[in-house]
Structure 1
Amino acid sequence: MKLAYSARLDHKSGEIVFCAVVKSVLDADGKQVAAWSSLMPAALQGDAVKEIEVTWDLREGELRPKPSLQDQNIGLGELLNGRANPSALFDLPNSRRGQLHAFLYPTETQFRKQGESWLFVLAAGKRSAFYPNKKAPEPVDAFIIRTLRAGHQDLISRAPATSVLSTKSIALLGTGAVGAPLAIELARNGVGELKLLDADVVEPGNTIRWPIGSSAWGRTKTQALADFIAREYPATNVSCVNHALGTFVPQTGFGDFAALDETLAFVDLVIDGTASFGTTSLIQDQARSRSLPLVALYASPSVASGVVALYMPNEGCPVCLEWAWEDGTSGISPPPGMFAEAELIQPPGCAERTFSGTFFDLQELSLQAMRVVAGFFAGGFPQSSSVVYTLAFEDQDGIRVPAWHKNSLPPHSQCSCRK
């Protein structure tokens, strides 16, 4: 098998810290039977990472759980086969050399379910220690390296309801206080591809209600999110379009339609986190023309309430929702404070007014949108119905408690979407 590894010396304990990923496994005939297909974890990125080839053996007996060589009945003679293979030795910190060997063994991987797992044994010492025929050989220290499972099934096994997301591509437009945490939730739950569109930059004042802190200051929100997701959730493929909807670049001819063409190409669902009715209408038109479902989420100016809506093609649209609020049809009422523009604030240095509210309240919208997306792909919605979830915070002994109300949204008779 082939491994990518890094090794460093912990100066407090004097111990070697060894970290590796199995990149590929070959059978006895040299045929590849498994391979790592994702990006490398953050600890295994950079110039210090090296690659080695490691031999492995199949053991018929189940190994014991105690992490010591003596408990496993594996001696150094078995590990080193009597003499080190010079080509298998690799450098370790503190002028030491190492040799790694792997054992595949049967074990109970789940309750009453048999499977296989790996045991990795690292022998470390001075170079001369690996040649026992020499007089007074130096000692070899042997360690069992803890093995962690990171295959696709291992990552989704704790949340099987979201496993369907791994094959889906989602476009997220708007990566502010409600869009950014949703982007991270989508990646955390294993979405296969995520396309981000925004042009805003993270300001220090943003981070009180943005999911990444000072490391993102001065960076575009899309790129800060893309780098974070690539580092922490490498199974998700992220791409960015740096564009502010409503703008046009005459030098390149790049405007809204070009940006949306790039962002919406080959996706399964669109999410609007822009919290702007003008851009929502544009996004809805473009999603509908491509027969794509749209999820929109936004808060009231004081975050006293909010909306998460799933708009299906040829069903109720954002304008239909405005009509429903206006005449009370479909039993849908405007969220409390939705039109209280006096509650908007304009922080110093900010070109536009924004809502006032806390991140922990805004996250209610992001998490509900995540539930809607997961439920949609799991088949939890009638495919022909638009749905509106209305959030209102209720005061219970001085604590704001979220309450959600669900309504179907049919096309409104006064809306042009029916024509």
Structure 2
Amino acid sequence: TLTPEPGSFVGFPAFSLDALGARGILRIGMESFRPFRATTLEVTNANGQLVALSDARQHASYPGPLVAQGRWIKLPQRPACGDAAFYYQRAVELYPDLEQPAWQKPWGEKGPRIDLVAFLFEDEMTWRGIAGNVIVVAKTQEMGADGKRGKVEKRLLRAELESRDNYFLRNPSSRSLNQGVVSLVGTGSIGSPAARLLAQAGVGTLRLFDGDVLEAGNTIRWEIGRTAAGYPKVHGLHSMLANNFPYTKVESQFMKVGDPNQDSANSAHLDAAIFKGSTCILDATASTRVNQYLAEMAQIHHVPYVWMHATNGAWGGLVGIA
């Protein structure tokens, strides 16, 4: 079995072997150097034609310099198990020009530089039969305190194929939620874990509404914790969900729902944002006034409405349907 670098991860878009060609270019969004973590955004062949595109991450997720370029080659069969040096040797045997690193500097001139090579091949995968698979290796070189480049390190990276089909293959029931649009009003101690569970279940679109900022003292009963203190709750949740559950589209509105001081234009905008196209409204505000308002509006818009809140001390809770 392969023994990749601990903590490393390279997400790679699922691809069709027939469309590949012999070799080409990768564009990879860099997330961290050590451990090495990245997402392959697109795969093109030698003619520059797109042969695979990530549906888990987009270019917009990464500042321009953090999108690096790598190289890939297609192998006639699955290679034997080995370390990074073994795979680089195999690559050079097939294409001698790969011996010369194509250095990339996504972290600037004084940051580490990288040379990435991916091996694409046909494989028998227990969870989906015969399909394309990938092995990714990197040469890296860091800058020392003396301003000189250190030793070149060869690293075997953990790579996994990512696609919507692959994500939900293990839980087919999630497919029924892909078209769902849930508006979640209130993202506190009940709403924040509900948001994570909805995204984890595969809800297609999740809309978040809340006008509160997270306080540090409240993080013991909130989904993310202290790292989100000081941020609007909806913004902290939006970032966490978008990073961890890429197949749920997350939208957020930092606004108080049911605010009597809100002008009519903003109120109409908020109503449309909550109800238009929604398949379900979840109310976790724990406010009787907001409960009544949303229940009445849900009846007008013919949208199912569920309210929920914890009892004092959070020993239990109540859930209702209107």
- TM over 0.5: same fold? yes
Letter of the 1:160 counterpart: P
Per-residue deviation at 1:299? 3.0
Q: Which residue of 2 aligns with 1:4?
A: 28
- The correspondence for 2:159, drawn from 132, 147, 156, is 147
* Cα distance in 2, alignment partners of residues 60 and 168 from structure 1: 42
Give the letter for the 2:218 counterpart: N
Instruction: Choose the corresponding residue for 1:279, options 269, 284, 290.
Output: 290
The answer for unaligned runs of 5 or more in structure 1 is 11-16, 127-138, 312-316, 318-419
Aligned to 2:270: 259
Contact 1:63 1:107 in 2 (8 A): no
**3-state DSSP of counterpart to 1:118:** strand
Hey, what does 1:308 align to over in structure 2? 319
Shift of 1:117: 0.4
Q: Name 2:103's counterpart in structure 1.
A: 89
Match of 1:109 in 2: 125
Match of 1:25 in 2: 43
Q: Is the 8 A contact 2:30 2:39 kept in 1?
A: no
Task: Indicate the percent of aligned positions where both proteins have the same amino acid.
Answer: 23
* Among 47, 64, 75, the residue aligned to 2:80: 64
Code of the residue aligned with 1:50 in structure 2: it is V
1:189 paired residue among 185, 201, 206: 201
Q: Structure 1 residues 256, 23: CA separation in 2 closer, same or farther (over 3 Å shift)?
A: same
| Shift, 1:281, TM fit | 2.2
Q: CA separation in 1, counterparts of 2:241 and 2:160?
A: 20
Go from structure 1 to structure 2 and tell me whether the alpha carbon gap of 1:291 and 1:80 turns closer, same or farther (over 3 Å shift).
farther
Which amino acid in 1 is paired with 2:183? A
Residue from 111, 114, 136 that aligns with 1:120: 136
Q: 1:124 to 1:80 in 2, by over 3 A?
A: farther
Q: TM-score, normalised by structure 1?
A: 0.59
For the 8 Å contact 1:248–1:255, the answer to whether it is kept is: no
What is the aligned partner in structure 2 of residue 50 from structure 1? 67
How far apart, CA to CA, are the structure 1 residues paired with 2:300 and 2:272? 11
Please name the residue that 1:130 is paired with.
none
1:199 counterpart (211, 217, 221): 211
Q: What is the alpha-carbon distance in structure 1 between the residues aligned to residue 111 and residue 208 of structure 2?
A: 46
Q: How many residues align?
A: 287
- State the match for 1:416 in structure 2: none
For structure 2, the 5+ residue unaligned runs are 1-24, 143-150
Closer, same or farther: CA 39–82 of 1 in aligned 2, 3 Å: closer
Q: 1:4 to 1:213 in 2, by over 3 A?
A: same
- Greater radius of gyration (CA): 1
Amino acid aligned to 1:19: R
Give secondary structure in 1 for the equivalent of 2:296.
helix
The Cα shift of 1:289 comes to: 1.9
Mapped contact 1:247–1:255 kept (Cα < 8 A)? no
User: What's the CA shift string for 1:335-371, capped at 9, x where partnerless?
Assistant: xxxxxxxxxxxxxxxxxxxxxxxxxxxxxxxxxxxxx
Q: What is the CA–CA distance in structure 2 between the aligned matches of 1:95 and 1:276, rounded to whole Å?
A: 51
RMSD, aligned CA:
3.4
Q: 1: CA distance between counterparts of 2:184 and 2:128?
A: 41
Distance 1:77 1:209, change over 3 A: same
Higher RCO, 1 or 2 (CA under 8 Å, sep at least 6)? Answer: 2
SS at match of 1:200: coil
Deviation at 1:173, TM superposition (A): 0.7
Farther off after superposition, 171-180 or 285-294: 285-294
